A = this chain, B = another copy of it.
Amino acid sequence: MGQRGRKVGASGERSRSLLLQIAADQFAQEGYYNTKISTIVKKAGLTQPTFYLYFQNKDAVFQELVSLFRTKLFSLAESSRLESGIERSALPNQIKAGLTAMFSFFAENPSLTRIGLLQATEAENIKTELAAQITDNLRKEMQDGYFQPTVDVKIVAESLVGIMERLVVTKLLPGIQKPESLANDIVDLLLYGIISKNNG
Binding site for B on A (CB under 8 A): 32-33, 88, 124, 127-128, 131, 145-152, 155-156, 158-159, 161-167, 169-171, 185-186, 188-197, 199
Known: A148-B194, A150-B188. A155 touches B167 (CB 8 A): yes
6 extra interchain contacts, Cβ-Cβ under 8 A, other than A146-B196, A156-B189, A192-B193? A147-B195, A148-B196, A158-B163, A158-B170, A190-B193, A193-B193
Q: Would you give the shortest CB distance from A189 to chain B, in whole angstroms?
A: 6
Number of this chain's copies in the assembly equals 4
Asked, given contacts A190-B193, A195-B191, whether A159 binds B148 with beta carbons under 8 Å apart, the answer is no
B156 near A166 (CB under 8 angstroms)?
no
Which residues of chain B have C-beta atoms less than 8 A from A148's C-beta? 192, 194-197
- Where chain A touches its partner, the secondary structure class is helix
Q: A194-B147, A194-B190, A196-B147 in contact; A159/B167 too (CB < 8 A)?
A: yes
Interchain residue pairs A-B with the least CB separation, the first 8: A162-B166, A193-B193, A162-B162, A192-B193, A33-B33, A191-B195, A159-B163, A162-B163
User: Could you tell me the distance in whole angstroms from the C-beta of A65 to the nearest C-beta in chain B?
Assistant: 18
Query: Inside 8 A of A199's CB, which chain B residues have their CB?
Result: 88
A and B contact pairs by CB, cutoff 8 A, 25 listed: A33-B33, A131-B170, A145-B196, A148-B192, A148-B195, A149-B196, A151-B194, A152-B185, A155-B167, A155-B189, A156-B189, A158-B170, A159-B162, A159-B163, A159-B166, A159-B186, A159-B189, A161-B166, A165-B166, A190-B194, A191-B193, A191-B194, A192-B193, A192-B195, A193-B193
Kindly provide the distance from the CB of A106 to the nearest chain B CB, expressed in whole angstroms. Answer: 14
Q: How far is A150 from B167 in the complex, measured between Cα atoms in Å?
A: 18
**Given known A164-B162, A196-B147, contact A155–B191 (CB-CB < 8 A):** no
- The listed residue (B155, B169, B193) touching A185 by CB distance below 8 A is B155
